[in-house]
Amino acid sequence: MQTFSFVPPNMGPAEGQKNYVFVDEHNRHKRLKVMRACNGCRKRKIKCDAATTNTWPCSACTRLKLVCIPPTISQDGDFSSHGQMPESSQQPGSMNVLHATDLDISAQNISHQHLLTDRTQTQYMGSVRAYSDDSRLYQTQPSLEHVQDPRHLYQDIPPPHLVPIQHNQTFHHNPNLYTASPPQVILKSLATAPYAKPEQSNAEDLSEALGDLKIDETGVAAYIRQPRKGDRDPEVPTAEEGDLKLPHFIPTSGATIRIPPELMPSDDEAMEYFDIYFTHIHPYVPVVHRDHLYQQWQSDKTSISPLLLEAIFACAGRMSDDPSQGAQWLALGNRHEAAFMEAPRLSTIQALLLLLKAREGSPKKGYFYRSWQTVKTMVSMAKDLDLHEHKSYHSEGHFCGLDSVECLVQTRVWQTLLVVETMIGGPQGRSDFGVDPDTVEYGTSLNIPNLDAFEIERSRLFAYFTRNVRSIRLMTDSYHKLKKQPDWGADPRFIENNNLIPDWLASLPPDLQVTYPPDGSPPWLPSHLVGNMHSHFQLSIIILHRPQLLASKSFTAGGKWRTHMVLCYNSARNLCRLQEAIVGSFGLNGLFYMQRGISFTVYGILTCTMLHLIAITSPDPELNSDARIYFTRHMRLLEQCATAWPVPDLQESINQLRLAFSADINKPFELKRSFPYGSPADQHHPSPPMDSRYMATPFSSSGAEQSQLAYGHSPTPPISSDVNDKPNQMLQELVQSHGQNPS
């Protein structure tokens, strides 16, 4: 049996450092790991929480009123020399995170490090290609090699949440964002955190570093989910800054709700708002018939629901040259909203969907819970109007009895309710959905007479968007049906959803497909809708395969673990490139336009973060070769999003994440060179400089190749330890063994 010690080259083991012993790839289940449990927990063979928290005394000794004796090197040596492992190390980890014991790719799994050094160095240098000159993500930031004063790299900008971002605007890092000293309590906690110590770096510790930002295998986000039973009651809400700039309003019984005349925009201003809405926001919330609205505005403004007008102006105002106008319209809509709850109206649901969209830019305390309650209200009101039965009339060949405008609006509203219910409820762990996916229209051409070309095209695009949401909804429903079963991710009833992914991709017409350049640079996007739609699709692949990854515990030559890991990480790479392409081509507004706005982007990045960290610590060069680069690229996107989307609680967690992994928190993110403390990529793959040269990705390929890689039926064996193996061997085998057309 060949062993490798966890000791850096030319360095002896430091005092207090733990050593790890590993066997060959096909006998990983015989792996021996030194324990960090205290002496008392070892004798009693119980779980020692201090082994992961590094906080002494442990809770078990405190509860039993015993003297807690931390482990020493000699004790570890006694256990490891006899090949013993206390039972505490064999207990399964929580299903909420990707543990090292589940994935067997912890930071200590560093075999063949020195054998791979020369090959990975050559592979890296041979694969580097200059980033495209026309990319606008980093174009204003010169390379560090040619800058005498690094301070010139980062330019001051006003607060981004009040600054209009043009579609082609390049984001510049603000040094003031990073120079603020973190609170002492954060520094103290991070100094004693598990990831602060090199000898304790593993997947479980990495997940602890994420804290509330981690997304578990079910897609539930800790920072989004509703309070669970037993949690402390939230603090008493405090009064928030309200609509002080609005005209004084005295409610009178029987008075008609209307927009104050002094706030009513001129025709030119209204047309500008309408243009912003229908051009950029309507693709994601297409609940208004464009020509009908224009006719109402020109002929009789009073025929338009004032709440709907306020919602449209609020959405468009947020994206206009003066975002404060959008805030004013949102405040007016919030003031009038309660008055429209006395009876169900289709126009009220339209307005609530747009108000939900407008609130994304300036979330209040309890934003996620408030959003879910709004969704519940809209679904209930829609069912009172029988929107859930509308599709059945057309399916049975009957006439619904509605004019073309109302028929189209009802169809679109019910589609949009499925979208928001899935995108809001899923990350919160909700299961009480009210929209049955079978009652939603997914056809790309609607059988509605007298539709103009604009509405026909918009219906086609939104149908593809809704189909992908349906796939995610079916995955979520499967989880809630199977979640009480062990290893539910491997249940055949959940695996049945695997066909949803290639079916959606194969159904896309050429104008909605995305081709990923082989050099790892962001792809070209015809519109932000295509980019955001594919971002949601890549996220759905991770949501589908991450539970199967966690349930795949076989590391033998027929195991599925590596297949699922490659699928997940390839999607994480593509998601990063898509988000960069959106920001580069359309500015941060391109992310705001998406349903759920920046919140969706943050959720997607955090979903990928654990995959990046796992790939970095993996001994597989096909996973770790560019993992540091993609982690850095995604973290820089997260910094931009956090700056443009001010949520205090989330911002604090992101700052802690940066403090844990950033080489210098006063500058844009660059991964610590010392992380992950002995990974195969430790000293040979530094984070990219600001000119962002990207290394070629073995799995970055055209759409056809991606489909072949993602949905091949033949499992691939673990990577061989032979130094002559080529890093893209898996891709070549899959392409050769499966057809040239996506299935």
The pLDDT tens digits for 171-210 are 344 444 443 333 333 333 333 333 333 333 444 556 566 7
Q: Per-residue confidence at 117, pLDDT binned at 50, 70, 90?
A: very low
Cα–Cα distance, 269 to 264 (Å, whole number)? 9
Enter the pTM of the model.
Answer: 0.67
- What's residue 246's pLDDT? 57
**Which residues fall within 8 angstroms of residue 385, CB to CB, at 6 or more apart?**
344, 345, 346, 349, 410
Q: Per-residue confidence at 618, pLDDT binned at 50, 70, 90?
A: confident
- What's residue 339's pLDDT? 93
> pLDDT above 70 covers what percent of the chain?
62
**Which residues fall within 8 angstroms of residue 29, CB to CB, at 6 or more apart?**
555
- What's residue 204's pLDDT? 52
271 by DSSP, 3-state: which? helix
Cα–Cα distance, 527 to 522 (Å, whole number)? 14
Ranges of beta strands (E only) in 126-197 are 128-129
- What's residue 247's pLDDT? 56
Residues listed for the chain: 743
- What's residue 677's pLDDT? 57
Average pLDDT, stretch 317-339? 91
- What's residue 69's pLDDT? 84
What residues does CATH 4.10.240 cover in the chain?
A: 32-91
- What's residue 235's pLDDT? 60
Q: How many CB atoms lie within 10 A of CB 104?
A: 17
Long-range contacts of the stretch 316-321 (C-beta < 8 A, 24+): 316/272, 316/273, 316/274, 316/276, 316/277, 316/281, 317/273, 318/358, 318/361, 318/592, 319/164, 319/276, 319/280, 319/281, 319/589, 319/592, 319/593, 320/164, 320/272, 320/273, 320/276, 321/164
Tens of pLDDT along 27-65? 444 443 445 788 888 888 788 888 777 787 888 888 887
Q: What is the mean pLDDT of the chain?
A: 72
Tokens of 738: 């499966």
Question: For residues 654 and 190, which has the higher predicted lDDT (pLDDT)?
Answer: 654
Average pLDDT, stretch 578-606? 95
Q: How many CB atoms lie within 10 A of CB 166?
A: 11
Q: Per-residue confidence at 529, pLDDT binned at 50, 70, 90?
A: very high
Whether residue 446 has pLDDT greater than 60: yes
Tens of pLDDT along 426-436? 999 999 999 99
Least trusted range by pLDDT, from 42-46, 439-443, 550-554, 699-703 = 699-703
End-to-end Cα, the chain, rounded Å: 43
Q: Per-residue confidence at 128, pLDDT binned at 50, 70, 90?
A: very low
Q: How many CB atoms lie within 10 A of CB 413?
A: 23
Tens of pLDDT along 407-418? 999 999 999 999
Q: Per-residue confidence at 236, pLDDT binned at 50, 70, 90?
A: low
Tens of pLDDT along 470-494? 999 999 999 999 988 888 888 899 9
- What's residue 303's pLDDT? 94
For 32-91, the fitting CATH number among 4.10.240, 3.30.70, 1.20.1420, 2.60.120 is 4.10.240
